[in-house]
């Protein structure tokens, strides 16, 4: 799997959101390079962390969009909810049957989705956030 690195082109104009996104990319990288990445214990911990991180980050982002009265908030929130559901479903599926999901599956879902989402939906709130800064 090709790994993405965060760079300035991913900036959404808000320091906290950029920091969250950077942590995310770093986490994916570390996980993919970890020698025990396919061990059950490591997977269980990482999936749990990713699920929690996703919930925390998406909530923080929605709060920011609300603060700047972003007009696309409801639509963006719906996209977040669909993604959070997917992540939590992957977590449940893994707990039920660890053989059903490999580390690469999780990493690909997370990385591709975030990269796409940051460059697409998240970039749209950038001018609104910047206006308020």
Write out the residues near Fe ion by the rule CB under 5 A. 61, 122
Closest CB 112 distance from Fe ion, rounded Å: 14
Q: Are 28 and 87 in contact (CB under 8 A)?
A: no
Closest CB 61 distance from Fe ion, rounded Å: 5
Q: How far apart are CA 86 and CA 51, in angstroms?
A: 10
Closest CB 58 distance from Fe ion, rounded Å: 6
Nearer to Fe ion by Cβ, of 15 and 95: the residue is 15
CA 29-73-118 angle, to 5 degrees, is: 20
Q: Are 22 and 16 in contact (CB under 8 A)?
A: no
Nearer to Fe ion by Cβ, of 14 and 122: the residue is 122
Nearer to Fe ion by Cβ, of 44 and 123: the residue is 123
């Amino acid at each position: 799997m090709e790994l993405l690195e965060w760079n300035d082109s991913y900036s959404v104009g808000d320091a906290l959101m950029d920091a969250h996104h950077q942590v995310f990319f770093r986490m994916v990288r570390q996980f993919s390079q970890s020698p025990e990445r396919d061990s059950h214990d490591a997977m269980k911990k990482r999936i749990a962390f990713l699920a929690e991180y996703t919930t925390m980050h998406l909530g923080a982002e929605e709060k920011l969009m609300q603060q700047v009265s972003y007009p696309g908030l409801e639509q963006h929130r719906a996209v977040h909810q669909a993604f959070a559901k997917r992540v939590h479903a992957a977590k449940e599926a893994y707990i039920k049957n660890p053989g059903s999901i490999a580390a690469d599956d999780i990493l690909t879902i997370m990385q591709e989705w975030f990269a796409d989402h940051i460059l697409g939906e998240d970039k749209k709130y950038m001018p609104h956030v910047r206006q308020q800064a």
